[in-house]
Structure 1
Amino acid sequence: MDNDALPNGIDERYYLLQVAREQFGCEPDKLDAEQLRQAGRIVARQRRIEDAVLRSGEASGVVIPAAQVEEARAQIASRYADGQALQQALASHGLDDGGLRAALARALKVEAVLERICAGLPEISDTDLSLYYFNHPEQFQRPESREARHILITINPDYPENTRQAARARLEAIAKRVRSKPERFADQALKHSECPTALQGGLLGYVTPGKLYPQLEASLFSLAAGELSPLLESPLGLHLLRCEAVAPAAKVTLEEALPRLRDRLQDRQRKAFQRQWLERLLQQPAPVEKAHG
C-alpha cells in the first residue's frame, strides 16, 4: 500500500479521534452536534493541508522507515495496559492496527516534508538574539521565588488518626517540635509528612507565584527565610510550610537567556516559514485526476 494513502474511511475516523481528544478532551462519540461540526471542519482542513504537502515537489523522495512508524505506534501503545487493550480501543472507533500504522506513516511524512523545507533557513545570529533581548526586557524578568519545605497531614474521616481534629492535633505537635528546633523540619517531614516529598525532607524546591494553592502561596510569600507558617489547609489536607530561602525578582542575564532564546526564535522562524509555504501551496489548484477508460 502507498504510504500516502489510507484505507477508505480509516483516515477520517483516525483524524476525528485525534481532534476530539486534543481539542475537546473526549472521545468522538461524546461530542455534541456543534462540537462534531467543528471537529469535522478541523479534520477537513487538516486533510486538505496534508494532501497538498504530500503532492508537493518537496515530498518527492521522502521515505519514512518502518522502524520510525513502529516507534510512533509504540508510543501510542504505551498509553494502554497491553496490546489487547490497544486493539479494543481501536476497534471501538472502527479502526484497526493497519489503519493506525498507515495514518502514522502519513503524519510522519508530512512532518518530514515540513522539516525538509526548513533545511536551508539561516541560523539566528548572536546579533539578532541580543537585539531581541534588549528590545523585549519584560520577557526576561525572573519573578521572586521562595525555596520551601512542607509537611502534609491529610484529612480522612475513615481513619481515626486522620479525622480533622486528629490531623490538626498531629500537625500542631509537629509544629511545636520544629519551632523549638527548626533544623529538625526535614527530619520531621521524612517521618510524618503524607506527601511524596517526604522522601526529600518535604522539599518543594524554589516556588514561583501561581504554583501552589492560593492559601499556601499567600502564606509562603509572606515569610522570611527560616520562618514557619501557621497551620494551613488546602484541598489536600493540612500543611506546615517553612521558607528556606528567598530569591528576589531579578532580570535574567543575556548569557542565561541565550540557549533557550536561540531555540525559541529558531522555532518561531521555522513555523513562520512553514506557514508561508503552506499558504502558497494551498493557493495552487489541486491537480485534476484523469479519467481512465
Structure 2
Amino acid sequence: MNARPVDAAPYLTLKLAHALFKKAPSALSDEERLRVADVAERQCIIEMRLLGTPEAAGVILREDAIAHALAEIRARFTSDAEYHADLALNGLVHETLREAIIRDLKVEVVLEKVGSRAAPVDDTEVEIFYLMHPERFTAPETRTLRHILLTINDEMANSDRASVWTRISDIRERLLRAPERFNEQALKHSECPTAMNGGLLGELPRGKLFPEIDQVAFALAEGELSAIVESPMGFHLLRCDAIKGGSGLIPLASVRERIRQHISDGRHRTAQKAWLAALLRTR
C-alpha cells in the first residue's frame, strides 16, 4: 500500500485548521497557515509510511464509523452549500473527503494495534503507583456552608459600619439562643441572593471563598456558628452544616482501575511513539 488514491494534504489541512485553531482553512492567518502546512507535511509522511506497513494490511473499517466521522465534519457547517463550498475551497469534494477519512481511521486502528502490544499492567504496579503518588488520591475536605451577609453603605440610612455591626451582632445573639432559626434569619436579613435558600452557599472545598471567610469556615465544627467575619462584601455570619472528606487517602479499591488505565494509556503512547520513530528511521 505504498501509493495513495488521493492526496491527503487537503484533508489534513482542513482537519488541522480545526484541531489547532478551531477555524476553517480560509480563515487562518498567514502565520497559522504556515503552521498548519508544516504539521500537515509531516503528517503526510508519517501516514504514507504507516499505511504501507504489515500492520495496516487487512484493516477493515465499519461503515458506521466512516459515516460518523463524516457527520462530525458536516456538523461544523450551517448548510450543505457552505459544506461543499468549503470543501471545494480546500481542493476536496465529498468523495475525496470520504477517502481521506478512511485513511485517517485506518491510521487510528493501526496505532491502536501497536499500542495494544504494550505489556499489561499488573496489580503490583498499580499499588506502587498508588503509594508513590498519595497526593493524587487524597479526598479534599468539603464543607456545606450557610451565611448571612449584611453590606456596608455609608450613604444609606442604618447601613453605616457601626449600624451594620450592631444589626449583625443582634442576629448572632438570636442564633446563639435559637440555632434552628438560621434559615429564617437568613431569609429575613441577608443581603445575598442565597437568602432565598436559607443562606446556603453549598458544599465547597477550600479556596472558593474570600480568604477571610475561607479561614473561618474551615475552622468551624459541624453545626457551629461563626463569629462575625468581615470580607470585601460586608459582615458575615457562617454556619457549617456538614463536613466531608479530608480523612486521608481514598481507598485503593476505589481507584485501582483508574490507576491501571492511566498506566496502560501511558504505555500505549510510548509503544506507539517508539514504533513510529523506528518506522521513520528505516524508510
- Whether these two folds match at TM > 0.5 is yes
In the alignment, the residues of structure 1 paired with residue 97 and residue 225 of structure 2 have an alpha-carbon distance, to the nearest angstrom, of: 56
Shift of 1:59: 0.3
Q: Secondary structure at the match of 1:250?
A: coil
1:88 to 2:86 alignment: no
Match of residue 17 from structure 2: 17
CA contact (8 A) 1:19 1:43 kept: no
In the alignment, the residues of structure 2 paired with residue 220 and residue 53 of structure 1 have an alpha-carbon distance, to the nearest angstrom, of: 55
Q: TM-score if structure 2 supplies the norm length?
A: 0.64
Over 3 Å counting, the alpha-carbon distance change for 1:41 and 1:281 in structure 2 is same
Within 5 Å, which residues of 2 pair with 1:113-152? 113-134=110-131, 136-142=132-138, 144-148=140-144
Match of residue 265 from structure 1: 263
Summarize deviations over 1:85-135 as a string: whole Å, max 9, x none: 36525634625661443333222111111112233433201112122223x
1:245 to 2:242 alignment: yes
Shift of 1:45: 1.8
Q: Secondary structure at the match of 2:242?
A: strand
Within 5 Å, which residues of 2 pair with 1:1-293? 5-6=5-6, 10-21=10-21, 25-78=22-75, 80=76, 84-85=78-79, 87-88=81-82, 91-92=85-86, 94-95=89-90, 98=94, 99-134=96-131, 136-142=132-138, 144-148=140-144, 180=175, 181=180, 184=183, 204-207=202-205, 209=207, 212=208, 216=210, 219-220=213-214, 222-223=216-217, 224=220, 243-246=240-243, 247-248=245-246, 250-285=248-283
Q: Secondary structure at the match of 1:124?
A: coil
Q: Secondary structure at the match of 1:252?
A: coil
Amino acid at match of 1:91: A
Q: Secondary structure at the match of 1:64?
A: coil
Q: TM-score if structure 1 supplies the norm length?
A: 0.63
Amino acid at match of 1:58: E
Sequence identity (%)? 21
Match of residue 150 from structure 2: none
Q: Secondary structure at the match of 2:142?
A: strand
Over 3 Å counting, the alpha-carbon distance change for 1:274 and 1:194 in structure 2 is farther
Over 3 Å counting, the alpha-carbon distance change for 1:139 and 1:43 in structure 2 is farther
CA contact (8 A) 2:55 2:110 kept: yes
Structure 1: state its 5+ residue gaps.
Answer: 152-164, 286-293
In the alignment, the residues of structure 1 paired with residue 123 and residue 117 of structure 2 have an alpha-carbon distance, to the nearest angstrom, of: 18
CA contact (8 A) 2:146 2:241 kept: no
Of 273-282 and 85-94, more deviation after overlay is shown by 85-94
Summarize deviations over 1:118-174 as a string: whole Å, max 9, x none: 33433201112122223x2344352643234679xxxxxxxxxxxxx99xx9xx99x
Amino acid at match of 1:145: E
CA contact (8 A) 1:20 1:27 kept: no
- The number of equivalent residue pairs is 250
In the alignment, the residues of structure 1 paired with residue 240 and residue 49 of structure 2 have an alpha-carbon distance, to the nearest angstrom, of: 57
Q: Secondary structure at the match of 1:123?
A: coil
Shift of 1:56: 1.2
Summarize deviations over 1:182-222 as a string: whole Å, max 9, x none: 6638x96xxx9879xx99x967545355xx4xx54663354
In the alignment, the residues of structure 2 paired with residue 138 and residue 30 of structure 1 have an alpha-carbon distance, to the nearest angstrom, of: 46
In the alignment, the residues of structure 1 paired with residue 46 and residue 248 of structure 2 have an alpha-carbon distance, to the nearest angstrom, of: 44
Amino acid at match of 1:42: V
Of 176-185 and 102-111, more deviation after overlay is shown by 176-185
